[in-house]
Structure 1
């Protein structure tokens, strides 16, 4: 029999061994759990870091689209703030990946209760709380995309290249300026502006003579409103007056041997006022047909928006000044005359008009004179070269002329008369077809054609095609008059050039409308078609008037310097 002391010592020893075994087992289990937790933690950290990295990269690339250094940069969207915050998290945590394990600390955990009721403790690793994430499926930096210059790319802005082309055009034009002055010197002849002889300024006399036809038109309508003459006789008087407004001044230009430049300006004035007189007679006749009873007319000149109160000399001349060709009893009016706006437009118009005069005398005249010899010899290669060389200054003059007349001059007249409708043109430069160009580049004439020609023909049962044909026919007649009369020749080149537009419109309307190719063809016809017409008319004019312009003299004998 063992003594009680020996038995107690054995029990104590067994308990101690069991406790050590339990502690060793807990330590092993704890180490395995810590390793597993560490592995999961670092995997989670890697996945989260990769997600934030992808968001950061995408955010940085999105900032390239929003930078102010880019043309037409899109505005900041709401998701940018989220992307920005994620990027900041990534930037702030990018150095913590390798040092995160140094921040782990230990705490006591309770081991299972031993047989004697004692508890043991063992150190365990505590991992920081991390969100549950899934492995990112995006490709980060990469995505299915097309190259910007490929045909598959859409909504690409090429305005940077446009700026480059404008800069190159400026350099080329400035080189031509230097080359022109080295070749010809200064060719501006200020004697053309002298008023020593009345026939040197036929435009002034002819312009003043247009008042005669305006007064006759006013008196005819006044007599018709008061039933002094029968309607049939008044109709004949209107036809005679409108015809005389075109024939007599045109004949005067030929008789006075006017300079072609001033002759073109005068013919434009003749066409404008003849169209105004036709619309003036048409609208008053229509208003008179609304009230066939003479007794219904009440003459009250305070309200000029009611027929026949509009038949006053003041109202008639106000219509002759407003920038429209269609006569109405009332128009939209602006509240006041903006003096600063008016002065600015006048100064701009004067400066650009002098620039046009300078470009015509300094650049276009020598070029067309140098083109006469190749045209006489039918040297097609040199003719094409002359046309292409003339196309640049001709395009400058045409664009400046459009801007001066349709934007500056018409706005000046609208401001003086307080005329409210300032839509004198639309975006014809974006035309993809000739039909859109002819409808938008000259809105006053377009309105006149629709009101005075197309609509009346449609009401009388004519088809659309006949209405289009008559509009182009009248336009071709006016274009031929504007060019042929100042050049003292009738060749019908301008007439057939305008009439051929109908054929081109019919051939290209369904094929090219709405495409960039249509816009390129449109500009091609403008850039090269106009110089060819100018050369043809000028060649014929010089052959018939050889003493009008002296031969071109060169400051340099080098053929390479000739423009």
Structure 2
């Protein structure tokens, strides 16, 4: 009876001068602390009384089983935006202090000779080579025209394409080695030549497949599903020209196009491109060059000293690599796409979230067989570095192929621990923190040793 009367007294409205008469502030939505009151539950007299009661000292606070936010069972269910902001602030503060300390200790070390030297001005044969590279796409178009009109057989078409693609690589290699060009000029030419080679391969492969489809009994079904293929036998010079300058390595007659060019947006991206390019130059001159000049060959000197140099070089190298990715894959390709009204701008996926090395390469080389991607990537990395440096030690090739065992390791760890962070941390550790600084030191000292012998 006493309990019943107590409940009835609690349900009745309080006296006019009672402390329970004061209406507390409405609880925030989703607030389940101090009694679990939620918005909408304090409607009416009963809800108001319960809300008032939940704020009293006698109201129970601990009403259910809950985990701490940073416990292993709840840590991945929480938002860590605040901690991420803290990390960004700390990163800016620490790097800002290091930049100021470096400038006070060494001064400004940037010199124009790294980017433009008297040797670079003598690299006019490389400029001529770069200007004449479009001869190979023109030869590929002539080959396809002759194949379209059946002037040459299919085996001869394939042979001509093989010759053209190989010549587009061997021609710049010969010019760079023959005229002993500057490293930066040679790297730029080889990078451009590899892009031309990749486009020529795609052009030849796509046109070959179109010829096969034109003879297929299912070509009507294919055309109904892919009307953009148009005439399967048609070869267009205009489409080839657009493809050679478009930000893609996959040839097709038509591409999705935007309606207009945003001039203000283009100017904004160009300004960012200039800023980040200058930032790369500052990091290279101010940090990377002094570190590698004060280092020893990592495979011949003291092991602990070599590890210290690699770790010290890893941070500025990582910054430069990220800036290069942002400048080329995001800024430059988007600028080019905007000027050409190229619509499909998914130039990269979120490879930085890759859980395994295998997943990283599949996202980086979408639609390419993994072993072929590894082998070609290893060869082209070696060509891009070894030819301008005129030294063939295969460090870049070995570095790329060494990731094959890492694929097996990260897959095993992913299947064993079912944790997405383990493989991602291994990817960042071996690919950026250890691999790239090691290759830089190896090539630098091999190039210096070559110059001493000469």
Q: Please, what TM-score do these two structures have when normalized by structure 1?
A: 0.68
Distance 1:88 1:46, change over 3 A: closer
Offset at residue 182 of structure 1 (A):
2.9
1:532 pairs with 2:434: no
The residue that corresponds to 1:363 in the other structure is 287
Summarize the Cα distance change of 1:64–1:41 in structure 2 as closer, same or farther, 3 Å threshold. Answer: closer
Which residue of 499, 510, 517 maps to 2:401? Answer: 499
User: Which ranges of structure 1 fall in alignment gaps of 5 or more residues?
Assistant: 1-35, 66-77, 98-135, 294-302, 455-467, 549-563
The answer to whether residue 67 in structure 2 is matched with residue 146 in structure 1 is: yes
* CA-atom RMSD in angstroms: 3.6
Aligned-partner Cα distance in 2 for 1:546–1:58: 79
Pairwise CA distance, 1:82: 2.1
Structure 1 segments (4+ residues) deviating >6 Å:
55-58, 84-87, 91-95
Aligned length: 426
Aligned mate of 2:81, from 123, 137, 159: 159
What runs of 5+ residues in structure 2 fail to find an aligned partner? 14-19, 217-227
Q: 5 Å matches for 1:456-535?
A: 468-512=370-414, 514-525=419-430, 526-535=432-441
Aligned-residue offset at 1:409: 1.0
- The Cα shift of 1:408 comes to 0.8
Deviation at 1:84, TM superposition (A): 7.2
Query: Residue 151 of structure 1: CA displacement?
Result: 1.2
**Residue of structure 2 in register with 1:44 after alignment:** 8
- Between the aligned partners of 1:40 and 1:287, the Cα distance in structure 2 is 87
Alignment of 1:74-223 (within 5 A): 80-83=39-42, 88-89=48-49, 139-154=60-75, 155-191=77-113, 192-193=115-116, 198-200=121-123, 204-223=127-146
Q: Closer, same or farther in 2 for the Cα pair 1:287/1:219, shift >3 Å? A: same
- What's the counterpart of residue 389 of structure 1? 312
Which deviates more from structure 2 when the two are superposed, residues 81-90 or residues 246-255?
Answer: 81-90
Check whether the contact 1:304–1:315 (CA below 8 A) recurs between aligned residues. no
Task: Report the equivalent of 2:278.
Answer: 354
Task: Report the secondary structure of 1:146's partner residue.
Answer: coil
Alignment of 1:312-351 (within 5 A): 312=237, 314-351=238-275
- Shift in Å, 1:56: 7.7
Counterpart CA distance in 1 for 2:54 and 2:85 is 42
Question: How many angstroms apart in 1 are the aligned matches of 2:43 and 2:393?
Answer: 72
Instruction: Show CA shifts across 1:94-135 (max 9, x none).
Output: 99x9xxxxxxxxxxxxxxxxxxxxxxxxxxxxxxxxxxxxxx
Q: Which has the larger radius of gyration?
A: 1
Q: Distance in 1 between matches of 2:96 and 2:81?
A: 22
